[in-house]
Each structure stands twice: as C-alpha cells, then as structure tokens.
Amino acid sequence: MSIVAVNPSTGEVIKEYDEMTPAQVNEALEQANRMYQDWRRTSFAERAGLMRKTAQVLRDRKEEFAVLMANEMGKPITQGRGEIEKCAWVCDYYADNAEAFLQPEIIETDASKSFVAFQPLGTVLAVMPWNFPFWQVFRFAAPALMAGNVGVLKHASNVPGCALAIEDVFRQAGFPEHVFTTLLIGSKQVNAVIEHPHVKAVTLTGSTPAGKAVAAKAGQVLKKTVLELGGSDPYVILEDANIEEAVTTCVTSRLINSGQSCIAAKRFVVVEPVLEKFETLYVEQMRQRKMGDPLDEATEVGPQARHDLRDELHQQVMASVEKGAKVLLGGEIPDGPGAFYPPTVLTNVTKGMPAYEEELFGPVASIIAAKDEADAIRIANDTVFGLGAAVFTRDVARGERIATYELEAGSCFVNAFVKSDPRLPFGGIKESGYGRELSHFGIKEFVNIKTVWVK
C-alpha cells in the first residue's frame, strides 16, 4: 500500500510513500517504549532546552514548511507562515511553564506529608487532521513531551510530507530518536495501534465520526482520550453591535484556512433590526477576498484540501438551497483544475437544512435571522456541536454575560473571532468532543495525577 500526496491546486501527484507494515509499526512502538523509560527521567531543564531549540528550527524553516503546506493541502502561504510561528510559540510556552504546571501540589491532611504528583503516562498516540498539519500536532506534542511522555503520530494521509517534516524538526532540534515518531499508516491500522500495550493514551483532532470511532476503540481497552472534533460555531450579532467591525471579524473568521477550520465562524445568527445591513456588508467583503494559487502572496482563499471534500461541501449547499436557502454570493464550482470553491453566502437558512444542522467545512457562510437576543441565543445553542461561539455587542457587560452564562461552547469570545492560544484551554462540549488542550489544563490531560501519602 502507498500513501499519496496530491496537490489540491492542480490535482497532480506530488509524491508517493510506502505505508508502514504492521511489523514496522510494532517495532516503532517498541522503540518508543524503550525510549520512554529514559525520557521520563530527564529533567525539565533538559526537556525545555530541546523544546526551545525546536522552536528555533521551526522559525528557521518557516518558509520551507509554509510552501509544503501550500502544496500538500492548499493553505495560503501567508497563513502557513503564521501557523509555523504559532507552533514555535507553543514550544516556547511549554518550555517556559511546564515545570511550574507540574510541580507537586501539597495538600494538608492527617498525614505527616501528602501531596499530588504529576507523572507521565508513556506513549501517547496522536491521530491528527490535515487542515492545520503542523499546529495541531505541536499543540499536542509540546505539552506531552515536556511532561515526560513520548509521542507517536498518525497524521492525515494527504499530508505525509508534513508528518515526516515534523519528526525531522524534533530530530534536528536534538531530541533523542524515538521520543517523537511518525507512523506512515492509513486509518485501517489505527485500531491495532490503540490496542498496542505500549500505547497509554490517544488524542484525536478531526471529525465527530472519527472521534466516536477512536473513543469506542480506546474505551474497549480503557485508554484515556482527548477529542477535539467538529464545530458549527455560531456568531451572534445583536442590534447594538458595531456592524462594520463585526462583519470584518466574521468574514475573516469564516475564511481562515479557506474555511477549513473547526473553530471558523460558520453560522451567523443576526437579530432582525440589523439583518439587512449585515447581509449587505458581509457579501461585499466576501466578494473582495481573492481566491487562487496558495503560493501567491495575495491569495486569501486557496483550494479545498481534496476534490471529494469540495464536492461534499457543494452538495450541502445545494441541499440547503433545495430546502429554501437563498444564495447571495458564490455557490458554484468554478471551471478549471483544482479543488476550488468560492466564498459563498447563504441566507434564509432555517432548521432542517445542512447549512443549519451540519458543519460546512469550507468558505460558506450561513446567515440565520433571529427575533431578539433570547431567540438568537436559542438558535446559537440549537446544535449538536459546542466548540466555539462569539457574540457582538457594544455593551461589553452584556456580551460577557452571554458568553459566560448563555452560549454552550468550550470557547466563547466577545467582539472577536474564536481562536486557540497556548495560554488558554481549548476544546469542546457535546459532539465537539471532550478534554482540553493547551494551558496548564492541557499538559495535565496525559499525566498520572498521583496521590502520595506519607505517615
């Protein structure tokens, strides 16, 4: 079997890679486990020094990796550079903070001494997606390795070059061999890896069906999981919002990574007094965003990562139109090569349509009318997903109240688009998954929270 990288801008094959055999996978896991026995005993200072070198390698090779992402999954090159900078940031963040996060916590009891220690688990399997092929790996790897675990990566099959490049980054930075290992395997081998006795935990970023499948298998063998899954983030636009600023923020969020982001704005819930103005300005801005070659510095929207994903997105749009949605912009597959889909705006979106119920993973905005604040909150929460949400209002106290107490999501922003930050926990509720990445919460997901009691 082979794993094939295809350029989504042209449809041309970039390179074919041999898939690892089960025997090769088993040997890689054995080597990772042997390395873990040494790595778990290294000092935080040693780990931090290597992680800071990793950040430097990323910055030194930023252009190379931005081009690689553009070629393998179509990311606009300017956004690719930003992704690599963010990866370097998370490496530096955990190099600076991991030791403090994992300091033993003294608890007063009737013991002469009692405390909570945080010890690594062992080999952590990461099943990662293609849309942020570096960032989503590093946001798992930096805390996991700093905690004393070792990592193995099963990356998406359309970004094998990125997967191998990440392993090379850790090697170049000086990490011992087998502390981080890329497994070039397809999805059919994932269950066997989860079942392997050396694998102690699994983290997955991807679709909700993929998360359910991995969680089911991990549950059978009682292994800890963290799942960051799909989202259909609602952005609530209230009557007192600064509409011009809100539109700019909403368009930017909807088109991040050409619309292929779990936390991109997807459903715009707009109260009726400002609906017409919002729609008009939103369509104007979406029309101005340039779609084209991801290697072109001016490109803001590249191709979709694969042709099948582009076609599925179009089917969701057409099914919504058949049920009464109105196309204000886009909605047609362009002529020519590549998996391109234009910035698209749908209005008259109502319950029962794919544009209301499902995650549209591409540059398609769904505008939904609401009567008032209460109705907008009801619509925003009327979803199986719960990853991110935002609210726009000039009354900051009002926005904070809605974000804190009303919106059902793991990350709720006021007058800004949802984004991940190493300093803040990241993750969802409902069918958007469970567990948290980043911040001190993320590094404690894959440790043994151990009670020590001394008489």
Mean pLDDT score of the chain, rounded to an integer? 98
Cβ-contact 286, 387 below 8 angstroms? no
Place 409 in a pLDDT band, splitting at 50, 70 and 90.
very high
Q: What is the pTM of this model?
A: 0.97
Residue type, 129: P
Given the DSSP bridges, would you call strands 13-18 and 326-329 parallel, antiparallel or unpaired?
unpaired
CA distance 385 to 208: 9
Residue 372 lies in a domain: yes
- Judge if 349 and 370 occupy the same domain: yes
pLDDT digits (tens, 9 = 90+) for 19-53: 999 999 999 999 999 999 999 999 999 999 999 99
Place 263 in a pLDDT band, splitting at 50, 70 and 90.
very high
Residue 94 lies in a domain: yes
- Judge if 64 and 184 occupy the same domain: yes
Residue 205 lies in a domain: yes
Residue 419 lies in a domain: no
- Judge if 265 and 181 occupy the same domain: no
pLDDT digits (tens, 9 = 90+) for 59-81: 999 999 999 999 999 999 999 99
pLDDT at 197: 98
- Judge if 176 and 266 occupy the same domain: no
- Judge if 357 and 433 occupy the same domain: no
Residue 423 predicted with pLDDT over 90? yes
Residue 420 lies in a domain: no
Active site residue 250: no
Residue 310 predicted with pLDDT over 90? yes
Residue 1 predicted with pLDDT over 90? no
Average pLDDT over residues 75-96: 98
CA distance 181 to 222: 23
Active site residue 262: yes
Of 167, 262, 357, 406, the catalytic one is 262
CATH number at residue 216: 3.40.605.10
- Judge if 179 and 250 occupy the same domain: no
Average pLDDT over residues 267-283: 98
- Judge if 65 and 88 occupy the same domain: yes
334 CB neighbour count, 10 Å cutoff: 11
Residue 355 lies in a domain: yes
Cα dist. 291→74, 263, 362 in Å?
A: 11, 21, 13
Of 83, 167, 228, 408, the catalytic one is 228
Place 88 in a pLDDT band, splitting at 50, 70 and 90.
very high
pLDDT digits (tens, 9 = 90+) for 344-369: 999 999 999 999 999 999 999 999 99
What's the domain count of the chain? 2
Residue 246 lies in a domain: yes
CATH number at residue 354: 3.40.309.10
Domain range for 342: 233-414
DSSP E strands in 132-260: the ranges are 150-154, 180-182, 199-205, 224-228, 233-237
Residue 108 predicted with pLDDT over 90? yes
Residue 251 lies in a domain: yes
Percent of the chain with pLDDT over 90: 100
